[in-house]
Structures are given as C-alpha cells and as structure tokens.
Structure 1
C-alpha cells in the first residue's frame, strides 16, 4: 500500500491532479446517491460525502454529484469493477475502477499492464492477498474562530494520549504516530463510525478511505521498483481507475 501512497502524494500538488481527484470522488458520490439523495437517510452516501470533504472536494462539486446520481441532473451510469494483475518482479496489483463502459476500461487496464511490464491475472489470483481496512490520517485538532467577520479554521497540535484514547473508544484497531501525523486503522465495517466520531471530536482529518491492505509484502530490485512506479503512474492516470494497490514495501 505504501507505494501507492507515495505516488498519490507526489501528484496532489498540482491543480490538474486535484481536478482528477475531484472527478474520481464525484463518481463515488454519484453511485451512492442512486439509493437516495439525503445523506441522513443514506449511510453510504454520507460516508462518500464525508470522505470527499475530508479530502478538500468543494461543496458545489459534491452537490452536483449528488444531483447527478439521484437523477436530478443527467449523468452516466457507473459500475464498480476490480481487476487483478501482476507487475515487475511478479508483484501483485489490485485495481479498483468506476466505469460507464466496462469494455473500454478492461481493455485500457490490460494494455497498460502489458505495456509496462505487467499482466492481467485471473479472478481471485490477487484479491485474496488483500484485506479491506479503513485508513484515517489526522494532522491536528481543528478549531474555528471568527476573524474579521469570517469563519477561519486553525489547526492546533493534537495531544497524542487523548487522540489515542478517543480513537480506541471509537473502535480503532491500530494507531501509528509519525512526525506529527497519526494514521488510524479500522475494520471496514467500523470505518464510517470511527471517522465520524473523530470528525465530531474536532480532529483534522487529511485523508480517509477504505484501502486494500496486504500483510505479505515483498521487495523489488531498484530497476523493478522503477518500472513498477511507471506502471502505477500510467494506471492512475486513467480516469476510470479509482485506486491501485500493490504488495510492495
């Protein structure tokens, strides 16, 4: 999972990358809004909206996606499809897509894998190596003050012991602290409840999602790692690709 995050973080600095992030999260919201446009009555939509807000997606983008998904505005019909494959050095690659054309997406994923040293795998060949977990990243404690008539957010350092207790009480499975950043792991089922509780407690969440975690990690040679990074970058450049996970350290 670490290799994926390093690529995402490098990309997040540009306006184009933010636009791509907004588009991908909008697809998720559209799918969940099919079951109802009111987040209070649709927990899956509430989770998608919360994740989008935590990742900085503007309110108008979120509202437009809800309207598209609920039929208030015209929009494409998206389907969630997972692909399994192998990369340089035989590493496992697990790909999540949202697409309105499965033939187009399947062909694009297959071609990209083959072009950059990988290959498509059989159904079940890779997925069994991964377990879905909630991953929540916190940078501090948020507080709102009125400055010159406007609400302004300030981020204060969190108290590690207090955050740890709050996370455990909310249902966290694991908590890691590193250089002022806290990464909390939850079960897939408890993810929404834990994220909601920490948000209501005032913590600044800078990343929040369901991730595919692999415990059986492997290493690659320097050349293989470079080839894999190129492959992952091209996969994630595809607008239909939502997430890419590997079993590389």
Structure 2
C-alpha cells in the first residue's frame, strides 16, 4: 500500500490549514461536539473523543481550546445537532472523490457540493458510486526526524496492532484497522511518539494521473472549494497529485 495515502496530499492540506487555522479549529470543534454528544465528555470512557482530541493535538490546537470545546459541547444539550454524512462523486476525467461532512442542514450541504462538482467538470453521484475504490483504514503519520529510529518504530507499531508499515520520503505511515486506530495510537503515544496525523481515512486502492492542464486546474479548484466549505471535514480522492503542487 506504499504511497497510497499520499503524503503530498497531506502536506498540501496541512499547508492550507496553516493559512486558515481558525477554520480547521472550528471544524475540529464540531467533531469534538459530536463525540461528546455520542459518548460523553470524559475521554477516559469515550474512545471517539480520545481520537478527536488526538486529531486536534496533531493540528496544533491549543489544549485550552480543546477543553473549552468539550465543556461547551457538554453544556449545549440538544443545541447544534450535526449529522455525519459522506458524499461521493467524480471530478474531471472520472477522478473518484469522497467528502466527509458534519452539517446541521443536509439540503444546504448537498446543494453546495453539487454546485462545486458541476462547476469543475465533475458530478455528485449516488452513495456507493466510488466508495468501493477506497479502503477504510486508520492512518498514523509520523514525520522523519533524527530522534525516530525506523526499525524501532516499525517494531513498536506492529506490536501495538498495526497492519502495515510504510516508509515514505518524509514520513512513516502506519496503517491499522479502523477500530484499532485508537489503541495503536495510544500505545505509540505512550512510547513518546508524536503524530502529524492520526485518524481514520479513506485510502484509494489506486490513483490516476491527470495530464490535461485544464483538468488539473479544475481538480485543484474542486478540492479548494470543498475544503473551504464549513460543513466539509475531509476530502479524499484518487488523483495522483504532481509533486510540484505540494
């Protein structure tokens, strides 16, 4: 599976996050609220909340901001109900796209997403139209540093329950079953590792290159428009993004 999660895509996303950190904090705040509503405000007894807290820390969300979000969610009761939905569609030249959303108005979200796809040479499809092209996996990304020994990390990851371990140019990728992500992450965290990313992803089974400059521009614009939408949490696709676009 080496390379299928596309560290270049992750870096691109993190670059966008750095430019609009307030927006990503708002989105993670929604995830915290949903996690608290589903399982309560105590991360010791709410594994979903622990996973979202880890995601927040990986995105450099301050701890006091995390705690404020949890306390706010615990006190909101039924206010601000968000639905978790996954939309599927095609970008230019048939690139498969999956979009995870948290929305309090699914009609608005669907209309927005349909507009983005239509405007950029794609179309929003039916549920299941591209999902079979992706594997649902826990993905832990640890950036390469002098303090991380590759062989030690690999052994620690496998002992912690990882299914696969990949070495990329700038990082190590650890893949798990979705339900094993939390346990694997917590065991590695206990051994002192820090993460650039730790969450369940849709990982494409194969990727496709785009050669037409117009298609490349449209695909870039589609991703940008999706990620700018407040209801969109994550965007996954089968485009093999060129290195110069990192």
Common fold by TM > 0.5: yes
- Asked whether 1:167 is paired with 2:157, we answer yes
* Structure 1 position 109, deviation (Å): 0.6
Moved over 6 A (4+): none
Higher strand share: 1
- Asked whether 1:238 is paired with 2:229, we answer yes
| Counterpart position of 1:194 | 184
TM-score, normalised on structure 1? 0.87
Higher helix share: 2
Matches within 5 A, 1:1-249: 1-2=5-6, 4-14=9-19, 17-34=20-37, 35-72=39-76, 75-139=79-143, 157-179=147-169, 181-223=171-213, 224-249=215-240
Tell me the secondary structure at the aligned position of residue 71 of structure 2.
Answer: helix
8 A contact 1:7–1:233 mirrored in 2? no
Distance change >3 Å, CA 78–CA 71, structure 1 → 2: same
* Structure 1 position 73, deviation (Å): 7.6
Distance change >3 Å, CA 7–CA 159, structure 1 → 2: closer
Separation in 2, partners of 1:188, 1:171? 11
Unaligned stretches of 5+ in structure 2?
A: 241-246
Separation in 1, partners of 2:146, 2:49? 30
Distance change >3 Å, CA 7–CA 42, structure 1 → 2: same
Please tell me whether Structure 1 or Structure 2 has the larger radius of gyration of its CA atoms.
1
Unaligned stretches of 5+ in structure 1?
A: 141-154
TM-score, normalised on structure 2? 0.88
Report how many residues are paired: 233
Computed over aligned residues only, the root mean square deviation of the Cα atoms, in angstroms, reads 1.9
8 A contact 2:51–2:199 mirrored in 1? no
8 A contact 1:54–1:206 mirrored in 2? yes
Distance change >3 Å, CA 54–CA 161, structure 1 → 2: same
